[in-house]
Amino acid sequence: MYGIFGRSLSDILREQGFTHPPEVSRELRGWEYNRHPVRPPVRGVLLPVSSVASDYCPTARDLYLARVVGISRPPSLPLVKGVLYHGVLEAVITLATNLLSRDPALVGKIPARGSEAIRRVLSEHEGLLRRAGLGARDVEGLRLNMLGLWNFEAERIAEAVRGLRGIPREKLAFRAVPVASERRIDGSRVGLSERLSVDAFRVGLPAVFEMKTGKPRESHRLALAGYALAYESARREPVDFGILAYVDFPVVGEAPKVTRVACPIDDGLRARFLEERDRKLEIVSERQDPGVPERCPKGCGFWRVCRRERRGRF
């Protein structure tokens, strides 16, 4: 079975010592959206999971500036990479599912379709690349990595198909590619965006997963809790685990190094996500400026905007 970059969910959980799902209190399940603490404190304001989970700006002034003042900042390189690599993953999974449902032998055609699919993903995100101010060389590096990711995925899917000989054709795509990329979930019942893109397993235990670039951060785990709560609120199915897949390209254009981290979506993580959601919903609905923190991360795109406030303070 293909799973996450060639590993099934059950293998990842077993390897990382998770033999049982975490205990989750009933009141912290997403389908309890009409009761505290899952019920959003305000209605009519919805936030993306990434904004709730983000710990980039310690006071969340970035959210205030974007949502209340209406100032945008250029997209960061990690954000651009995440969007593009995610586009590759979605394209390869969609293509593999289509080909496999027609004829398993067609799986061999996936690598040759990579360049065309990547061109499409890049052109869909032309505006994002422009706003990020990336030059032709940067974009070429990204394109090569996207190709590396495509070929890596194509090989993992081909391996899964080889291991599933004898499975009826109508079940093959479902078994060989048991991940639904970009499932649209309405998160509005829990104060999140109406069209959340959630990557979820579609067989076995319901679980969500996120592909990430860069170093692990607590905000990545928090985001999984947000997706799980949204999924539970929309589908009324429990989501007990999330998987973070960190993708890195030690050599440009070659196979990525993938590190998978299993994360139980337990009470603690759910409660922390809900606290952050409430705090950030309040900033937006009350139009409250949370102020500048003692320290700001280097290179924040809002640095010039916040500089005046900082001068006033110190």
Tally Cβ neighbours within 10 Å of residue 143: 18
Q: 48 vs 293, which CB is nearer to ligand SF4?
A: 293
Q: How far is the CB of 63 from ligand SF4 (least distance, A)?
A: 9
Q: How far is the CB of 263 from ligand SF4 (least distance, A)?
A: 26
Task: Show the tokens assigned to 187.
Answer: 């998160």
Q: How far is the CB of 57 from ligand SF4 (least distance, A)?
A: 3
Mutual orientation of helices 267-285 and 218-235 as an angle, nearest 10°?
90
Q: 15 vs 218, which CB is nearer to ligand SF4?
A: 218
Dist. CA 179–CA 314, nearest whole Å? 51
Q: How far is the CB of 215 from ligand SF4 (least distance, A)?
A: 18
Mutual orientation of helices 114-124 and 136-162 as an angle, nearest 10°?
130
Which residue, 292, 233, 228, 232, is CA-closest to 263?
228
Strand-by-strand arrangement of the 241-248 sheet:
179-185, 196-201, 207-212, 241-248, 257-264
Residues that bind ligand SF4 (CB under 6 A): 57, 61-62, 292-293, 296-297, 300, 302-303, 306
Residue with tokens 């009141």: 27
Q: How far is the CB of 62 from ligand SF4 (least distance, A)?
A: 4
Q: How far is the CB of 270 from ligand SF4 (least distance, A)?
A: 26
Which residue, 242, 249, 243, 294, is CA-closest to 266?
242
Which residue, 247, 109, 101, is CA-closest to 168?
101
Q: How far is the CB of 309 from ligand SF4 (least distance, A)?
A: 7
Contact 49, 269 (CB under 8 A): no
Tally Cβ neighbours within 10 Å of residue 36: 10
Q: 57 vs 222, which CB is nearer to ligand SF4?
A: 57
Q: How far is the CB of 302 from ligand SF4 (least distance, A)?
A: 4
